[in-house]
Amino acid sequence: MQFDNHGIVKMTKMNYDINRSAAANPIKIQDVSLRDGHQSLFATRGRTEDMLPIAEMMDEIGFYSLEVWGGATFDVMHRFLNEDPWERLRTLKKYIKKTPFSMLLRGQNLVGYRNYADDVVENFVQRACDNGVDIFRVFDALNDFRNFEIAGKVILKNGKHLQGTICYSLTEPRMGGDVYNLDYYLKKAKDLEGIGVNSICIKDMAGLISPYDVYNLIRAMKEQSNMPIHLHTHFTSGMGDLAIFKAIEAGVDIVDTCMAPYAYRTSHPAIEPIVISLLGTNRDTGFNVNKLAEIGKKMEKTIPKYMHYANQTKFAVIDTNVILHQTPGGMLSNLVNQLRQMDALDKLDDVFETLPKVRKDLGQVPLVTPTSQIVGIQTVNNVLFDKEEGEYSKITEQVKDLCFGLYGKTTKPIDVEVSKKALSGYPRGETPITDRPGNILEPEFDDVKESVKDLAKDIDDELLIALYPVTGKRFLKWKYGHEEAPKDVQAKTIEEVNKEQELVQKILSGELSAKASSTGKPKNLKEFEVYVDGEKFMVEVTDPNMPTYSGISKKEKKVNELDNSGNLIAPIPGMIMEFDRSIGDEVKAGETIVVLEAMKMLNNLEAPISGMLEKINYRVGDAVIKGDILCVIIP
């Protein structure tokens, strides 16, 4: 070992590579770059083609596992990237042959936003096993482990690793109080051990866990059992690195990190400084820092493709306010985008102020998908509509399902009056259930298979549509050439991205003059007169925050803009999921006419008057913005 003139160790490349003894108890590392990393920073837009150049290199590091699937990847891939999510698993498995694959599974929710029937769960988990998943991190948004029952049986039957997960949540700045205290988490850990899980994950989706709280929690869990413990935390609050180090001191077995290019902000702590910090200790990872650096360099080259999805609205890398509003990063970005599309971004502070009350009304649930979306969109609805129409004037279908018990048992009882209002006229009944949700859900997979037999080619296609009926069918039409995939879901080369960025910079700097979009252009396109070296070009720039329309021309969408009480107007931006009535039908005021998806939640839009449905201006799968006239009813 060499020292400089100040007595400081001179670390050379040789020191990092080979001059290290194996640690007595090395910390195991799961890398989440290929799933939660780009989900946290770049709206899950990472494409398989940009993962392949680093895949074999990642396989050589010695990671405990690589998280490559689950969470939002399944949704975003088929909806926005024109990629088959099943194919990503199979493709990555060809390049990564030594390191186990991990996925995030939302229990009975699978990778969707509601509890699916048991037959769908069984088939989906089996196909995930068949396609290459080795470790299943299974969680339930309510920490209701009855929702693990079916998925867990299939996982264990296949000899795969079942990791039971506790969603970490708070109602105070630190762990404690009468809800999320040490006893709560120890009891949940004991329950998971009784289920027969192979390991336990503490899933801190908002970066709320403080260093000393995680130390005390892991020490107490270790005293309670010998079950391996895995810590998953985000960097959002700035405590991520500190929490990981105190967890390591307390004896945690595995931690999640990201490669540096995909780390920090609302993502995760970076692996590289942790490797350096543990060098030579009894928890030394044994990783080669030089190899990690090479991977980081390759990753950096593709980041420009995704930077327009990054939230760069503020300079700070951390968000200390997360301790106050306790909103996970993904939920926060959803809220901001929703309010921006509704021209109501000035209401964000009102949303943060109202959110704790809505969360308390709905049973003080942890804020993680899908409950984060359930609480978030209901809070937005309350802030925007309650002053005019009364409290909980627009209740989403998912809130009604939550009140009925279709998601499971909430941490605290749901407010009686809110539940009563939500379940008034609810199709399944007005008395909440106490049974496991899956027990009352009728089998649905056979009906799905029959309905798509002319489109789906195999069981993976059928499962895609079972989870995402509207966008799944649309994707399969793209996949099999029945429809051409729109340009905004097709991959771009780095050269194309660089040219776009160059033009955008010229526009922002004032070098280029802009004019309004031409007649007939989609609403999310802006046309610019671009002058480069004295030559004039016409350039179309797509705004990713504006929705696109499909299928119907502007002329067909043109409707009477005069005030007409028979116009059913979109109160929020979203996607048309269903029309419950057809042109020519007689409808009654208050009947559901349109189902609109917003922030992955379903909203029933009711007829404003009684009469005949004269005109429908959109199709299922179309995106709409606030104020669009969806259909016209004449008295």
Question: How many CB atoms sit inside 10 A of residue 560's CB?
Answer: 11
Confirm whether 318 is domain-assigned.
no
Q: Do residues 164 and 305 both lie within one domain?
A: yes
**Among the three residues 253, 275, 309, which one is the final residue of a domain in this structure?**
309
pLDDT of residue 339: 82
Q: Which tokens is 434 given?
A: 């106490």
pLDDT in tens, 371-384: 988 998 899 989 98
Query: Confidence class of residue 312 from pLDDT cuts 50, 70 and 90?
Result: low
Q: Please report which confidence band the pLDDT of residue 513 belongs to, taking 50, 70 and 90 as the band edges.
A: low
Residue 159 has pLDDT above 90, yes or no: yes
Tell me: do 378 and 523 sit in the same domain. Answer: no
Instruction: Supply the pLDDT for residue 597.
Output: 84
Averaged pLDDT of the chain: 87
CA–CA gap between residue 395 and residue 380 (Å, rounded): 11
State the pLDDT at residue 58. Answer: 98
Give yes or no: residues 383 and 365 share one domain. yes
Q: Please check whether residue 9 lies inside any domain of the structure.
A: no
Give percent of the chain with pLDDT exceeding 90: 64
Region 543-548: what's the mean pLDDT? 42
Cα 467 to Cα 147: distance, rounded to the nearest angstrom: 17
Instruction: Give me 552's structure tokens.
Output: 């119907």
How many other CB atoms sit within 10 Å of the CB of residue 424?
10
Token output for 146: 């009855």
Whether residues 82 and 229 fall in one domain:
yes
Is 598 inside a domain boundary? yes
Closest CA to 634 of 580, 572, 573, 564: 564
Q: Residue 267: give the domain boundaries.
A: 26-309
In a domain, 406, yes or no: yes
Residue 87 reports pLDDT greater than 60 = yes
pLDDT digits (tens, 9 = 90+) for 333-361: 677 777 877 788 899 889 988 999 999 99
- What's the whole-number mean pLDDT along residues 155-174? 96
Own/partner long-range contacts of 6-14 (Cβ < 8 Å, ≥24 apart): 13/290
Q: Which of 218-227, 295-304, 441-450, 500-509 has the lowest mean pLDDT?
A: 500-509
Looking at the fold, whether 48 and 108 belong to one and the same domain comes out as yes
**Residue 488 maps to a domain:** no
6 assigned to some structural domain = no
More confidently predicted of 516 and 139: 139
pLDDT at 520: 52
In this structure, are 504 and 451 located in the same domain?
A: no
pLDDT at residue 184 is higher than 80: yes
Inter-helix orientation angle 371-389/329-341, to 10°: 40
Residue 538 has pLDDT above 70, yes or no: no
For residue 537, is pLDDT > 50?
no
Sign of the CA dihedral with 141 first, then 136, 302, and 259 last? positive
Q: Looking at residue 402, which CATH number applies to its domain?
A: 1.10.472
- Helix and strand element counts for the chain (H, E): 23, 21
- For residue 551, pLDDT beyond 60: no
State the Cα–Cα distance between residues 392 and 417, nearest whole angstrom.
Answer: 10
Using one digit for the tens of pLDDT, what is the confidence trace for 215-259? 999 999 999 999 999 999 999 999 999 999 999 999 999 999 999
DSSP letters, 249-285, are: HHT-SEEEEB-GGG-STTS--BHHHHHHHTTTSTT--
Question: Taking the chain, what is the end-to-end CA distance rounded to the nearest angstrom?
Answer: 89
The residue-averaged pLDDT of 307-321 equals 78
Nearest Cα to Cα of residue 157 among 109, 209, 115, 122 = 122
E strands in 132-280: 135-138, 161-167, 199-204, 229-233, 254-257
Question: Pseudo-torsion of CA 403, 406, 408, 412, nearest 10°?
Answer: 0
Contact by Cβ (8 Å): 88, 123: no
Q: What is the mean pLDDT of residues 385-396?
A: 84
Domain shared by 57 and 100, yes or no? yes
Residue type, 593: I
- The Cα–Cα gap between 568 and 224 comes to 58
DSSP type of residue 610? S
Query: How high is the pLDDT of residue 508?
Result: 66
Last residue of a domain, one of 422, 440, 458: 440
Given pLDDT bands bounded at 50, 70 and 90, which one contains residue 522? low
Structure-token match 């009944």, residue found: 429
| In a shared domain, residues 290 and 405 | no
Q: Would 39 be classed as within a structural domain?
A: yes
- Note whether 280 and 383 are same-domain residues: no
The residue with greater pLDDT, 621 or 90, is 90
pLDDT at residue number 541: 52
User: Is residue 133 within 8 Å of residue 160, measured between CB atoms?
Assistant: yes
The residue out of 483, 509, 534 marking a domain boundary is 483
For the domain that residue 295 is a member of, what is the CATH number? 3.20.20.70
- Tell me: do 247 and 137 sit in the same domain: yes
Q: What is the pLDDT of residue 530?
A: 44
Confidence of residue 386 (pLDDT cuts 50, 70, 90): confident
The strand pairing partners of 154, in sequence order, are: none
CATH number for position 577? 2.40.50.100
Clarify whether residues 54 and 94 are in a common domain: yes
Strand-pairing partners, residue 512, are none
Residues 240 and 217 in one domain: yes
Assess if residue 616 is contained within a domain. Answer: yes
Region 123-151: what's the mean pLDDT?
97
- Structural domain tally of the chain? 5
